[in-house]
Structure 1
Amino acid sequence: MSASAKTSLSSASTGSVHMDSTGFVKLGSQLPALAKTLSQAVDKLNLPLSEMQQRTLLLYLDQLLLWNKAYNLTAITDPEEALIKHVIDCLAIITHLPAGSLLDIGTGAGLPAVIIAICQPERQCTALDSNQKKIRFIKQISSELGLSNMQPIASRIEAHEASYDVVTSRAFASLIDFVEVAQPRLADNGYLCAMKGKAPSEEELQALESEWNIKTIKLHVPYLHDSRHLIELSIKNV
């Protein structure tokens, strides 16, 4: 990112939807409308995000779309749709996350890890994925956006050994599969937080409830009409 682009981070003003376009490549003429949509979503979600943080989220979106073809980051190419289904979708979990160090398994393009790191600079975030190209993208964008709290790692979860207070993922279709691979990385008294579309089935919950405290949180994602849930799990004290 150029020096002028970095300097312009502090010149954002999403409240009035007047945003310096310096540093943006793909969003172009859509930037004011996207900034307004993001600002309204932030208000609806009651997130204490500064103008600079909101601009950083849009810069991430811009780079995601710019490098998408080279790194195969997302099937969504429309900026507004990507803003809603990727950025705002991840923003909806922020206020529900327990505190502490965070590992995002199967992070892909950094979702939700990069979004969390932007919104919560005090939290140490690790983005884990076995896809080398996607981790290279996260390393590049983290450097450009100044995300000193982000650690991208190219590895399979089975080969990763650190432990974390919170383990997240939006990549697993099966809640049981997520719990199986994530549990070894969970610190004492930690939490697993799975992003899901539909709520887990009774069969899934019954298979886990003997060992886990399970909390199903229905999320309200602004501008998204699809179902979204966050499943929070913590090990029961025996």
Structure 2
Amino acid sequence: MDYQTLLTTACQQLTFKPSRGQLDALNVYLELFIKWNNAYNLSAIRDPNEMVVKHLLDSLSVAHLIDGERFIDVGTGGGLPGIPLAICFPHRHFTLLDSAGKKTRFLFQVKQTLKLDNVQVENCRVESYQPEKLYDGVISRAFASLRDMTDYCQHLIHEDGKFWAMKGVFPDHELSEMEKHYKVFASYPLQVPGLEEQRCLVVLHKENNQ
């Protein structure tokens, strides 16, 4: 099965089902990703079918769960999960932040090609980024730990904002190392079509606005 067919078929198994136009945009994004990956090393994964499952479907597995209007995808790399989510939610704003210039150059190309007016690309370190307007949520697949995510990103969200952490197995050990004023708001097991490995989404918030 070619990767375009795989994407179309597998998306029918997701809770959030992209439209035909959104599927077309996801395919264009994947084609650009494959092309640029050879020179820019966006991902260690080279097989297009594996990219569909571990990049696109993995990103879209949280689409039905996130709420809010303004998100920042920190350590976005090649735009995951930010680009797939921006394609599927054109009326929500997504800032994609990464410190690697070659990756943000790729993201600018994606933004221009797909005319993603709801995407903003920032090439800097997260601790130095000062947004003009605070976000409803920080979302990431890439942070090493929940403690790092909250420590480095707490200045990016407003007092009711949340951290949306995409993880493998439920991170009990990471939660035990966090500052006590951060609490688990919700957690969800994620179903990624074609992937047998465990995935979950952990949503954190700061208690009592301390």
Match of residue 175 from structure 2? 205
SS at match of 2:12: helix
Match of residue 141 from structure 2? 170
1:128 pairs with one of 92, 97, 108: 97
Q: How many residues align?
A: 206
Match of residue 79 from structure 1? 48
* CA deviation after TM superposition for structure 1 residue 183, in Å: 1.1
| Whole-Å separation in 1 of the counterparts to 2:51 and 2:91 | 26
Checking the alignment, whether the CA contact within 8 Å between 2:146 and 2:178 is kept in structure 1 is no
- Show structure 1 runs of 5+ residues with no match: 1-29
- Larger relative contact order (CA 8 Å, sep ≥ 6): 2
* CA deviation after TM superposition for structure 1 residue 43, in Å: 2.0
Match of residue 140 from structure 1? 109
* CA deviation after TM superposition for structure 1 residue 227, in Å: 0.9
Checking the alignment, whether the CA contact within 8 Å between 1:219 and 1:228 is kept in structure 2 is yes
Structure-to-structure mapping, 1:3-152, within 5 angstroms: 33-152=2-121
SS at match of 1:56: helix
Match of residue 129 from structure 2? 160
* CA deviation after TM superposition for structure 1 residue 82, in Å: 0.6
State the identity as a percent: 38
- Show structure 2 runs of 5+ residues with no match: none
| Whole-Å separation in 2 of the counterparts to 1:119 and 1:35 | 17
Distance 1:50 1:98, change over 3 A: same
Match of residue 233 from structure 1? 204
| Whole-Å separation in 2 of the counterparts to 1:110 and 1:58 | 14
Please tell me whether Structure 1 or Structure 2 has the larger radius of gyration of its CA atoms. 1
Checking the alignment, whether the CA contact within 8 Å between 1:196 and 1:231 is kept in structure 2 is yes
Q: In the alignment, residue 106 of structure 2 is paired with which amino acid? A: F
* CA deviation after TM superposition for structure 1 residue 52, in Å: 0.9
TM-score for both structures, normalised by structure 2? 0.93
Checking the alignment, whether the CA contact within 8 Å between 1:98 and 1:191 is kept in structure 2 is no
TM-score for both structures, normalised by structure 1? 0.82
| Whole-Å separation in 1 of the counterparts to 2:16 and 2:102 | 31
Match of residue 155 from structure 2? 184
SS at match of 1:62: helix
* CA deviation after TM superposition for structure 1 residue 209, in Å: 7.1
SS at match of 1:177: helix
| Whole-Å separation in 1 of the counterparts to 2:140 and 2:104 | 15
Distance 1:83 1:48, change over 3 A: closer
Checking the alignment, whether the CA contact within 8 Å between 1:218 and 1:228 is kept in structure 2 is yes
Q: In the alignment, residue 40 of structure 1 is paired with which amino acid? A: T
* CA deviation after TM superposition for structure 1 residue 46, in Å: 2.4
* CA deviation after TM superposition for structure 1 residue 40, in Å: 2.9
Checking the alignment, whether the CA contact within 8 Å between 1:128 and 1:154 is kept in structure 2 is yes
